[in-house]
Structure 1
């Protein structure tokens, strides 16, 4: 079965109003089609990303924006349920003692956000147990374990939720909730999407917790069509699955609504233009005026995509059908105030917790192995290399630590490593409270630890005389530096005496 695009992947321009999961009969307000009788929102593979890091322009994601998307639908009078398909709290399975204090606070913030968003059920995944099942249970969310089922009220209808890690578990659960009166059945599956298609009795399956996530920035999600359609949501909270349901009078499974070709083509073209705009926004050295114009155009395109999505769904959704949309959580969307405050409190608390832990328990980095170089910091390089420093001080690398301080993230372990020299490296710095002479992205981040070179002053002792892209992508990752292109960015850090032109004053 090939991956095929979903009915239409919509970016909703959501308001910050809040509503209850129930509500009055649906109306056309809020961009929701009048044929929608209830809606289901599903997050999956959020993996601790409570908000985008802010390392790049126009980054997707953020639970406060997702909350606003859901709240707008509820505010329009449509009953809307929210469930999570697992692997929400953490990005990996194990953490060091210094990391655990911040990760615990992050998970608490995600749980608080989910409660504020009216979470009905969470299918727990293996990453959710990174700090142990007792901690996970202490978060007190409405958990749904593999093989369990739940019936939820959605207006006058019942939504059946089933969960499992095998097709047999999903099939058995679907039969159970059908017998309990479920009009629409969603399966939450822990594993590869293709395996979920072997299940029966469901209207839709959502695959999560799989080794291969939907990680590309431009890919909102994937839908495998078949007797049981299977959706896989973009990871790290960058999109949310929206399912609009029009049950109809008859029993049995509902059918996936057909798309509207012309509208889908225009929607796809708008999405391509949106990605091009975001790429240009990430271009180094962009003028303030050009950035302002691009931001305005970005808002216009997001609104146009929402109009196209609502138009397509209004014409496609008929009684006895349901429509699937991957809603991209774009940077220009508004935020829900209550969840926004939860995130702000987390940002403040986690920095304070990390700093306190470092002062009480922190230890210096171990020395390098015998004969290996240690980190010495930028000032040890300056006197012999004045020309490269004249270039360096005009780059973003020279202000890297200040950018963290400006948003009070200088004590965040998931940020600081790429904003100081030699963090948690042998012969480097291992405490967030002791980075004074290691601030910013310096010479040694690119060229390697320099103690031997400082001692003998020969080119032969430079660990990486001409660092290549493999060095850069250690920090400029696809998740955090979404617009990074080595050939485009490299000229911004070169100049006389530093990879471009000759120097008359730099000594070797």
Structure 2
């Protein structure tokens, strides 16, 4: 009979324990290796301050922006990367019925494009937010607002991204019924409240340039800050370990924030660049269909000028818009000159592209938009279409009644109300005046 030493079971147990530990270590390392292998690059595409600019007006060549071209640009830039599309805010312009309808159309366009998060900027705060299962409305520092989340956790490329959104306190200081908490404190509180782990923090910040710089300096826990409300876009810069960039100006630029991966990295490496939504880009057909649907709703609703947030062309008390027909009797030669001009056919240029239903275009292609006696809407005031006499000379009912009473406006001062840098970037009075010259020279 072979004798087995009493300590053999102990040795056996130790050996088994060592094997288990080695296996555990191996499994742990393999798990890390597998996790590293699963980490992939991804891109965040961000826009800001669309300001109702669903589509360039088309009054001038080379205009940037518009959802149709934006969709094309993002598709070109994303290539094979997983993508996350976000809005930093400022998509709306105004809070009247027309503005709400346009904001809803922009949100529809964002959903079609694949946007997942829309941070609330100043313009969205006073609007009813449309219901959407695909798009999350976000604000980390707005209190008491229904239908929003304070943070969103997103998985992309094997990374877990915590997305937060803030809006400027100062910009909403006078907003009725709105409570805005300090952005820095709100961000830190939300980070600390997370019960699940995350790999990185991205903040969408609708704030001006100085506020963005302060935010980046005061919250180093954040990996990326994408801002807006800066008038001009901000090229990517670093504040400590935080990457900061901003996009602005009617959605004419897209920020691409790309997370790249090196073997063994526990956090991604961030880089960013800005891209113009140029007029050379093709128009996405899905977005064009969304624009057509929006214009169909505008046609049915036929908003009046008072249902928009656009400035109206004022009329003095006792001096209203009389219409171009009232001028013809005494100014026959000037009328003939006008009839040969593009001004006399301004409405037709809108009809040709289906934009005659849009108040944004009507205001510069009609007489006295929203003023007393001026254009109201298509149903009630088709006798005030085109750019007529009073578009430049002002409401002139008193002049019509008594020719000794001068027209109220100096015509040369009226041009820039419509021929601004956006709609007519190459406008030069001397050149343009030659095309419509009438009367006794410069009036």
TM-score using structure 2 length: 0.74
Aligned residue pairs, count: 369
Q: Is the 8 A contact 1:351 1:408 kept in 2?
A: no
- Whether 1:66 and 2:70 are equivalent positions in the alignment is yes
Q: Deviations over 1:252-290 (max 9, x none)?
A: 77xxxxxxxxxxxxxxxxxxxxxxxxxxxxxxxxxxxxx
Alpha-carbon distance, 1:393 to partner:
2.5
Q: Could you tell me how far apart the structure 2 residues matched to 1:51 and 1:388 are?
A: 35
Q: CA RMSD in A?
A: 3.0
Structure 2 vs 1, CA of residues 441 and 461 (structure 1 numbering), >3 Å: closer, same or farther? same
Structure 2 vs 1, CA of residues 374 and 341 (structure 1 numbering), >3 Å: closer, same or farther? same
Q: Could you tell me how far apart the structure 2 residues matched to 1:369 and 1:487 are?
A: 29
Q: Is the 8 A contact 2:43 2:257 kept in 1?
A: yes
For 1:101-500, what aligned pairs fall within 5 Å after superposition? Answer: 102-131=98-127, 135-140=128-133, 141-147=135-141, 148-165=150-167, 166-173=183-190, 180-182=197-199, 184-195=200-211, 196-197=215-216, 198-208=218-228, 210=229, 212-214=230-232, 221-227=234-240, 228-249=242-263, 321-354=269-302, 372-458=318-404, 460-464=405-409, 466-469=410-413, 471-495=414-438, 497-499=439-441
Q: Is the 8 A contact 2:69 2:282 kept in 1?
A: yes
Structure 2 gaps of 5+ residues are 1-39, 142-149, 168-182, 306-311
Alpha-carbon distance, 1:445 to partner:
1.1
SS in 2 for 1:476: coil
Q: Could you tell me how far apart the structure 1 residues matched to 2:154 and 2:368 are?
A: 52
Q: Which has the higher contact order (CA 8 A, sep 6+)?
A: 1
Q: Is the 8 A contact 1:161 1:186 kept in 2?
A: yes
The equivalent residue for 2:50 is: 46
Q: Deviations over 1:436-485 (max 9, x none)?
A: 32221111111112222222223x52212x4234x222222333334434
Structure with the greater alpha carbon radius of gyration: 2
Structure 1 gaps of 5+ residues are 1-35, 215-219, 254-319, 359-364, 502-508
Structure 2 vs 1, CA of residues 137 and 384 (structure 1 numbering), >3 Å: closer, same or farther? closer
Alpha-carbon distance, 1:124 to partner:
1.8
Q: Could you tell me how far apart the structure 2 residues matched to 1:500 and 1:485 are?
A: 14
Structure 2 vs 1, CA of residues 437 and 337 (structure 1 numbering), >3 Å: closer, same or farther? closer
Alpha-carbon distance, 1:328 to partner:
0.5
Q: Could you tell me how far apart the structure 2 residues matched to 1:224 and 1:177 are?
A: 28
SS in 2 for 1:461: coil
Alpha-carbon distance, 1:234 to partner:
2.2
Structure 2 vs 1, CA of residues 190 and 344 (structure 1 numbering), >3 Å: closer, same or farther? same
SS in 1 for 2:411: coil
Structure 2 vs 1, CA of residues 106 and 457 (structure 1 numbering), >3 Å: closer, same or farther? same
SS in 1 for 2:118: strand
Q: Could you tell me how far apart the structure 1 residues matched to 2:266 and 2:51 are?
A: 35
Q: Is the 8 A contact 1:401 1:440 kept in 2?
A: yes
Q: Could you tell me how far apart the structure 1 residues matched to 2:166 and 2:368 are?
A: 44
SS in 2 for 1:143: strand
Alpha-carbon distance, 1:42 to partner:
0.5
